[in-house]
């Protein structure tokens, strides 16, 4: 199997083509109505059904050849999601087809330790949560990058791997310099069917019954290998509250020594756990697990702590950290 760096042309698609994404959540409910929810996949997976444009012979030939050259389900390819293709958070239905990406769309990293490579990303945020999406299939000619707000030049200051979404600078980004970027991007997909059939409707006209494509996860986006329940790597540049939206395994990289990872109000959590597994992935800075004005545990670089709900001597709930 492999990735073919070609895009399924939108010219072959008809109205009625559509799809979206889905999560995988396990919900355990007890008779009292209380429930426990666990994410079995930390990122959504996209799926689209494909209808062929006008059912004319040219479109039929194009999709048949495209499917044949991909080997059915064997090899993956690019697919343009008309509803979500830009890192620009200003995208709305009114300007979806004309939106441009900018070099200031997303913070993708901060210079540290002689780093030269940074991964393209997109962020989704509202008052309840922030989610980061790894972009691995940027569209050629759309990538823009800036250092501390100063736009850089592709081919001179940096290069782009259009199969992985990795930006590489010719020289190390100075410590503390903020790297931002923007781009348009494709989905990485494969066909869901090995077999494709044509129904003849007229002498030079036919129909392809519905076929579909499904997203292929690149290694860099598939972080569920860490732990059942999903994983996340939140930006940790200031004291931060740990929330359920961060999934079960939380990889922390405190930008400053001694930053607080603050546990939420314990009253909403059942005894036992673990509710989180916190790991300090920074090379030199400590993170401090904190609750209600008290430092519970110092997480040294490379250390991991299991966070559970226990009972103190008066049978009151308390957060417990085990390493």
Mind listing the pLDDT tens digit of every residue in the chain (323 residues)?
A: 789 999 987 766 665 677 888 888 878 888 888 887 877 776 789 999 887 655 566 777 788 889 999 999 999 999 988 888 899 876 554 555 567 789 999 999 998 878 899 999 999 888 888 888 889 999 999 999 999 999 999 999 999 999 999 999 999 999 999 999 999 999 999 999 998 877 665 545 556 667 889 999 875 443 443 345 678 888 888 888 888 778 888 999 999 999 999 998 887 777 888 889 999 999 899 999 999 889 999 999 999 999 999 987 777 889 999 98
Query: What is the pLDDT at residue 229?
Result: 66
- CA 201/CA 92 separation, integer angstroms: 39
Query: Are 85 and 50 spatial neighbours (Cβ–Cβ below 8 Å)?
Result: no
Residue owning tokens 């355990």: 28
Are 120 and 135 contacting, i.e. CB atoms less than 8 angstroms apart?
yes
Say what the pLDDT of residue 226 is: 39
pTM of the shown model = 0.65
Question: Residue 222: what pLDDT?
Answer: 39
- In terms of C-beta distances under 8 Å and separation of at least 24 residues, what long-range contacts does 68-71 make, across chains too? 69/4, 70/4, 70/190, 70/191
| Cα separation, 305 vs 322, whole angstroms | 5
Q: What is the pLDDT of residue 220?
A: 44
Whether a cis peptide bond, with omega within 30° of 0, leads into 274 is: yes
Phi (first) and psi of residue 35, to 5 degrees: -145, 160
The pLDDT score that the predictor gives to residue 223 is: 40
Alpha carbons 215 and 187: distance in angstroms, whole number? 7
Q: How far apart are CA 176 and CA 20, in angstroms?
A: 38
- Inter-residue contact 146 to 108 (CB < 8 Å): no
d(CA 87, CA 103): 10
Residue 174: helix, strand or coil by DSSP? coil
Triad 1, 208, 13: Cα angle to 5°: 80
Q: Which two tokens stand for residue 93?
A: 């239905």
Q: Residue 41 in contact with residue 22, Cβ under 8 Å?
A: no
Residue environment code for 12-27, b if the CB has 16+ CB neighbours within 10 A, otherwise e: bbeeebebeeeeeeee
**Separation CA 211–CA 69 (nearest Å):** 16
- Do the beta carbons of residue 70 and residue 190 sit within 8 Å? yes
Helix (H, G, I), strand (E, B) or coil at 246: helix
Residue 119 three-state SS: strand
Computed on alpha carbons and rounded to an integer, the radius of gyration of the chain in Å comes to 24
């Amino acid at each position: 199997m492999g990735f073919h760096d070609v895009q399924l042309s939108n010219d072959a698609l008809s109205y009625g083509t559509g799809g979206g994404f889905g999560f995988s959540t396990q919900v355990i409910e007890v008779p009292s109505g209380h429930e426990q929810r666990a994410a079995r996949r930390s990122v959504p997976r996209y799926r689209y059904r494909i209808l062929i444009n006008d059912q004319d012979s040219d479109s039929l030939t194009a999709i048949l050849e495209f499917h044949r050259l991909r080997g059915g389900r064997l090899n993956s390819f690019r697919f343009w999601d008309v509803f979500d293709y830009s890192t620009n958070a200003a995208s709305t239905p009114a300007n979806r087809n004309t939106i441009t990406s900018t070099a200031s769309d997303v913070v993708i990293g901060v210079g540290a330790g002689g780093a030269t490579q940074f991964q393209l990303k997109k962020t989704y945020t509202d008052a309840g949560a922030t989610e980061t999406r790894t972009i691995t299939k940027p569209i050629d000619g759309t990538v823009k990058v800036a250092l501390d707000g100063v736009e850089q030049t592709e081919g001179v200051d940096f290069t782009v791997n259009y199969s992985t979404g990795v930006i590489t600078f010719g020289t190390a980004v100075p410590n503390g310099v903020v790297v931002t970027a923007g781009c348009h991007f494709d989905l990485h997909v494969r066909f869901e069917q090995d077999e494709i059939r044509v129904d003849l409707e007229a002498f030079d006209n036919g129909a392809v019954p519905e076929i579909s494509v499904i997203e292929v996860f690149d290694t860099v986006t598939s972080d569920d290998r860490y732990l059942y329940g999903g994983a996340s790597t939140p930006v940790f540049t200031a004291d931060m509250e740990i929330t359920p939206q961060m999934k079960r395994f939380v990889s922390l990289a405190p930008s400053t020594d001694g930053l607080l990872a603050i546990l939420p109000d314990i009253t909403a959590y059942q005894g036992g756990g673990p509710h989180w597994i916190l790991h300090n992935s920074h090379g030199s800075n400590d993170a401090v697990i904190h609750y209600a004005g008290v430092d519970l545990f110092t997480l040294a670089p490379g250390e991991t702590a299991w966070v559970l709900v226990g009972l103190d001597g008066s049978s009151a709930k308390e957060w417990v950290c085990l390493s």
